[in-house]
Structure 1
Amino acid sequence: MGDTFSYADIIVASRLFWYKRVLKEDEWARISSWNGGGWAKVLDKIQQECHLA
């Protein structure tokens, strides 16, 4: 939904947090760098939106 925080964002965030938690650091670094670092950016934005950071 663009700039609007939505249920889909929560689903994506849940999966990203899970990956970050269970994968080894080098594996998470590889995944978070996909799409020009887009997945790491999404996770950062969600952490800010939910006041987790």
Structure 2
Amino acid sequence: MTSKSSFLTQAQRAHRRLTWVERWDRDAATHAVSHWQVSLFGISSNVLD
């Protein structure tokens, strides 16, 4: 059961969206974060290549 007050207006939805500049900044920051590195002990490096 949903009441009308739970729906967001178009202005409220637009307010929550990111601008293109904010998206680019967020994406650039994501690429700057170091990535995970997994070490598998007991497995020859020849198998992993």
Larger Rg: 2
The answer to whether the superposition gives a TM-score over 0.5 is no
Q: If the length of structure 1 is used for normalisation, what is the TM-score?
A: 0.33
Structure 1 or 2: more helix by fraction: 1
Q: Return the structure number with greater relative CO, CA threshold 8 A, min gap 6.
A: 1
